[in-house]
Amino acid sequence: MDYKNKYIKYKTKYILAKLNNNLKGGSFIVKNDDLIEKLDAKYSKKNIQKKYSKKININIYDSKYQHIFLYCDMTFDDINPIIKSLENPNKNGIIIHIHSGGGDSSAGLTLYNICKKIKVPIYYYTEGQTGSASTYLSFGFSKNRIIGPYSIGFIHQMNDEEKGQTDELEFKKNILKNNEKFYVKFYSKFSHLTKNEIRKILNYDFFLNANETLNLGFIDEINNKTRHVSTKKIKNLFLISPSKWTEYLDSKEIIVNIYDCIFNNIKPIINISDFNQGLESIRELTFILPLLNLCSTSPIDIECIINAPIVETSVLIAICCSYRKMTSNSMMIINFTNIKGEDWQPKMQSIIKAYKTNHNIIKNIFNKYTKLPTKILDDIMINRFIFNANECLKYKLIDEIIL
């Protein structure tokens, strides 16, 4: 065999072995995904971090601030209540809790410009997801941008479904090009990235996890401060079927209730029931992200009681709580095999990147809060698991079995 054929055979074997290892771990090789990894490595070097690091002296869970929950799409109807809340700002400052995938660029830009005029300090906390038009707020103000440890952000090209004649579409193309120039300039101004690097990212609609948003300069601090102080008062809250949530508002009620407990030094006890009769599994991780962040970073203890079999959406929420109880006839059903990217994503690279970001969040949570074996953790995205109460206690998925 000549040297050329030997090289081709060796290279093919190497690529197949690498692909197999990645598939086993629930991830994929995507050439364009290397861009984020390279930029992340470039800007996470110690000298870069030291140069750009900004510590924000604020407690997210302090009731002295005005707390506004932007849990919605960015439309003019949705942001009107937010604008009204800003009319009489608290003199101590405002914390805007952001959980939005974006929407109307004009609505996002309108809210951004209104916030620029507010005289009191405003802090922008990405508590769940931020993307598209909502990143004007979450990424667009230096020195006061915070993100939860299990939050995600994304930026992308403009999407448009315009129809018309050739000259009309050509005119619309010019509008989109001008908008793109603004986006490139805007995101470059409020990050460490060059305009050329921003253009490359926009081409592939990439998701960014919390560490990537920090390293690339889109935010200033990750909120992982937690004390878990015990309290004398308790309040029972009920969380029924979060696996059915399909809107950003779905999590707002229980989030606000937990914040009310924190502000009044009351321990919330979350009673969880979420048995899905179907086998479709979790389809969308986005909507539970605020609860994952709140339960894992709360300054007071958050206890959960699992009253019935629960699926993976509620499993993730439960294991982030500071103390976890489970009835003896309950179980945990874990099936992430059908998890998906966002419906709007047109490119396979974007869908795979979203999948990998979700995988990173899921695996990190199980790794931090449980004692699941490495074999199970490696296969968490490609195999299905059922754990009864005793197995949950064995693997530290819970802390106590109750009758």
Q: pLDDT tens, 120-170?
A: 999 999 999 999 999 999 999 988 999 999 999 988 777 666 777 888 888
CA distance 11 to 16: 9
CA distance 163 to 172: 10
Rounded to the nearest 10 degrees, what angle do helices 33-43 and 195-202 cross at? Answer: 150
CB 315 within 8 A of CB 332: yes
Q: Is the pLDDT of residue 330 over 70?
A: yes
> Which whole number is the average pLDDT over 206-211?
88
Q: Is the pLDDT of residue 31 over 70?
A: no
Residue 59 neighbours by CB under 8 Å, 6+ apart: 225, 299
Cβ-count burial of 177 within 10 angstroms (0-12 exposed, 13-18 middle, 19+ buried)? Answer: exposed
Residue 159: what pLDDT? 67
CB 71 within 8 A of CB 248: yes
Residue 276: what pLDDT? 66
Helix (H) or strand (E) holding 48: helix 46-52
111: nearest Cα among 141, 69, 74: 74
What 3-state class would DSSP assign to 371?
coil
CA distance 141 to 171: 32
Q: Categorize the per-residue pLDDT at 298 as very low, low, confident or very high, splitting at 50, 70 and 90.
A: very high
Rounded to the nearest 10 degrees, what angle do helices 252-263 and 289-297 cross at? Answer: 20
What are the tens digits of pLDDT across the range 52-95? 555 778 999 999 999 999 999 999 999 999 999 999 999 999 99
Q: Which residue has the higher pLDDT, 352 or 12?
A: 352
Which DSSP symbol is given to 273? E
CA distance 83 to 89: 11
> Which whole number is the average pLDDT over 241-262?
93
CB 118 within 8 A of CB 86: yes
Specify the range with the lowest mean pLDDT, choosing from 270-274, 342-346, 380-384.
Answer: 342-346
Q: Categorize the per-residue pLDDT at 21 as very low, low, confident or very high, splitting at 50, 70 and 90.
A: low
Residue 52: what pLDDT? 57
Q: Is the pLDDT of residue 205 over 80?
A: no
Q: Categorize the per-residue pLDDT at 43 as very low, low, confident or very high, splitting at 50, 70 and 90.
A: confident
Half-sphere exposure at residue 328, Cβ-oriented, CA atoms within 13 angstroms: 2
Q: Categorize the per-residue pLDDT at 13 as very low, low, confident or very high, splitting at 50, 70 and 90.
A: low
Q: Categorize the per-residue pLDDT at 25 as very low, low, confident or very high, splitting at 50, 70 and 90.
A: very low
Beta bridge partners of 73: none
Place of tokens 């979700």: 358
Q: Is the pLDDT of residue 26 over 90?
A: no
CA distance 217 to 386: 40
Helix (H) or strand (E) holding 93: none
> Which whole number is the average pLDDT over 255-266?
96
What 3-state class would DSSP assign to 213?
helix
User: What global pTM score does this model have?
Assistant: 0.87
CA distance 128 to 109: 20
Residue 238 neighbours by CB under 8 Å, 6+ apart: 270, 271, 273
CA distances in angstroms from 39 to 27, 115, 216, listed in the order given: 19, 30, 7
CA distances in angstroms from 381 to 56, 60, 342, 376, listed in the order given: 36, 32, 17, 9
Q: Is the pLDDT of residue 361 over 70?
A: yes
Q: What is the number of other CB atoms lying within 10 angstroms of the CB of residue 232? A: 7
What 3-state class would DSSP assign to 319?
helix
CB 290 within 8 A of CB 127: yes
327: nearest Cα among 306, 304, 303: 306
CA angle 277, 281, 282 (to 5 degrees): 125
Residue 280: what pLDDT? 59
CB 103 within 8 A of CB 130: no
> Which whole number is the average pLDDT over 207-231?
87
CA distances in angstroms from 333 to 50, 220, 286, 315, listed in the order given: 43, 37, 19, 8
Strands 221-222 and 331-334: unpaired
Residue 16: what pLDDT? 47
225: nearest Cα among 308, 280, 301, 149: 149
Q: Categorize the per-residue pLDDT at 5 as very low, low, confident or very high, splitting at 50, 70 and 90.
A: low
Percent of the chain predicted with pLDDT > 90:
58
Beta bridge partners of 229: 300
- Which bin fits 259, alpha (ψ -120 to 50), beta or left (φ > 0)? alpha
Residue 147: what pLDDT? 97
User: Which of the given ranges, 211-225, 264-278, 327-341, has the highest pLDDT on average?
Assistant: 211-225
Residue 390: what pLDDT? 97
